[in-house]
Amino acid sequence: MTLYRLGAEGDRPLSTVAQDSPPIVQALRYGITAPSAHNTQPWRIEVVSDTEARVYFDPARLLPVTDPPGRQVHISHGTLVEMTSIAATHLGYRTDVDVLPEGGMTLAEYGTKPTARLSLVADSQVSEDPLFAQILHRRSSRLPHTPQPLTDEERAAISAAATRPGLQPGWIGAQRMADAIECAVQGMTVEADDHGTFEETNQWFRFTDAEIATKGDGLNLDTAGMTGLPLAAARLTTRPSNWHSWINRSGYLRTFTKTVRDTRALLTLTTPANTMADWITTGRSYVRAQLTAAGYDLRFQPLSQTLQEFPQMDRLRARMDSLADVTPPAKLQMLVRVGHTRTPALSPRRDLSGILQPQ
């Protein structure tokens, strides 16, 4: 098992595959470095041929409490699809993507129907996607932003990368930034104060290096934005058994609040409706925007709390919609911190061998 969290230095390692592995496997080894909600990596992949694969949910990697409809995990599938498609261009292939090839699915059907079918097509006219160069450098960052603001050029490039049919990027205006940030803080407070929602984070938190290495997924203190003395103290005191204690929750919220109040920009991704296909489209747009931002040494951090669909968040979700000028049936799919930070720790990744399913 490769330890995919190597601290602040170096690029992301890739799963080892045989030199004669088929093109779809070569592309997928990059694809699985895609970001996902809670770093659950909620996918299992069936390789159908040397150039074709089907992507399914791994039902054990859903987030039923904080993501009841499965919207966020669909977004996570969109990031995998797009990252794989970008990598395929490096190999000389274009990717034909069939989203929900067997149609939509109920919650009970998650894992039984594919979310996407990927078909690589050899094409001499295909040139390497410029975003491929950023795949191994891409990192989400929960660290405070430096004072350096985004330039108009950076905002325009990120917006252009995210724009696609059925999705509109935008930015929270300066006059609403403070209100949006405070709404985000309240959203995290709701999530941390509710036993059920915060317990779901506990289930995906990895408390030791050994646990990170063994599981290769989830959240941890390094990638949660903690550094220096707070990180050292938290390593000594944070345990699954005291996860719900007031001391742990208050420290968690204090770190989050301090970080988001340093935010330089808030990107929004909005769809005109809220279908499963829209969710996958959102993930594809998000990863292109994030890779574009990486080229400017900018980091992304999704602020998903107020957008979640469990009842305790209804009031704050409506408030954030208003701040982003989103009116149903349109859906604010993602709210993202964007700014410069110190180099964050790498989040762990599972090995591709544990994700691929036999035909």
Contact present, 140 and 344 (Cβ < 8 Å):
yes
How long, in residues, is the chain? 359
- 186 close to 192: Cβ distance less than 8 angstroms: no
Instruction: Tell whether 244 is covered by a domain.
Output: yes
Whether residue 90 is found in the same domain as residue 202: no
Domain assignment present for residue 68? The answer is: yes
**What are the pLDDT digits (tens) for 76-90?**
999 999 999 999 999
- pTM here? 0.95
Q: Are residues 111 and 223 in the same domain?
A: no
> Among 14-18, 217-221, 225-229, 329-333, whose mean pLDDT is lowest?
225-229
Stretch 151-177: mean pLDDT = 97
Total number of domains in the chain: 2
Cβ–Cβ contacts within 10 Å for residue 244, how many?
14
Cα three-residue angle 25-26-28, rounded to 5 degrees? 60
Burial tier of 239 (Cβ tally within 10 Å: 0-12, 13-18, 19+): exposed
Does the residue 12 lie in any domain?
A: no
157 falls in which pLDDT band (50, 70, 90)?
very high
Q: How confident is the model at residue 234 (pLDDT cuts 50, 70, 90)?
A: low
Residue 230 pLDDT = 64
User: In this predicted model, which residue has the larger pLDDT, 155 or 220?
Assistant: 155
- What are the tokens at 66? 């904080």
Q: What is the DSSP letter of 219?
A: B
Question: In angstroms, rounded to a whole number, what is the distance separating the alpha carbons of residues 72 and 282?
Answer: 10
* Residues 201, 284 within the same domain: yes
Sign of CA dihedral 198, 202, 207, 213: negative
User: Distance between CA atoms of 91 and 295, rounded to whole angstroms?
Assistant: 21
Q: What is the average per-residue pLDDT within 155-162?
A: 98
211 and 315 assigned to the same domain: yes
pLDDT single digits (tens) 46-99: 999 999 999 999 999 999 999 999 999 999 999 999 999 999 999 999 999 999
Residue 53 within any structural domain of the chain: yes
Does residue 9 belong to any structural domain of this protein?
no
Task: Clarify whether residues 158 and 73 are in a common domain.
Answer: no
User: Looking at this protein, which amino acid is placed at residue 137?
Assistant: H
Q: How many CB atoms lie within 10 A of CB 99?
A: 19
Average pLDDT score over residue span 115-137: 97
Range of the domain at 78: 23-137+352-357
Paired tokens of 110: 């998650």
**pLDDT on residue 237:** 66
Q: Residue 294 carries which side chain, given as an amino acid letter?
A: A
73 plus 160 within the same structural domain: no
Judged against a pLDDT cut of 50, whether residue 41 lies above it is answered with yes
Q: What is the dihedral of CA 339, 344, 350, 356, to 10 degrees?
A: 30
Both 225 and 86 in a single domain?
no
Please give the Cα distance from 223 to 5 (Å, whole number).
Answer: 9
C-alpha to C-alpha distance for 220 and 225, rounded to whole angstroms = 9
Contact 51, 119 (CB under 8 A): yes
Q: What is the mean pLDDT of residues 100-110?
A: 95
Q: Is 228 found in the same domain as 125?
A: no
Q: Which two tokens stand for residue 225?
A: 């934005």
- Whether 2 is covered by a domain: the verdict is no
- 180 in the same domain as 108: no
Pairing of strands 299-302, 331-339: antiparallel
pLDDT band (50, 70, 90) for residue 9: low
The chain-wide mean pLDDT, for the chain, equals 93
- Residue 164: inside a domain: yes
Report the CATH number that the domain containing residue 160 is assigned in CATH: 3.40.109.10
- pLDDT 10s digits, 173-193: 999 999 999 999 999 999 999
Q: Does a structural domain hold residue 326?
A: yes
Same domain (yes/no): 128, 176: no
46 and 172 assigned to the same domain: no
**pLDDT band at residue 259, thresholds of 50, 70 and 90?**
very high
In 3-state terms the chain splits into helix, strand, coil percentages (rounded to 5) of 45, 15, 40
Instruction: List Cα–Cα distances, 173 to 121, 130, 152, 156, in angstroms.
Output: 42, 30, 13, 14
- Phi and psi for 129 in degrees, rounded to 5? -60, 130
Same domain, 170 and 119: no
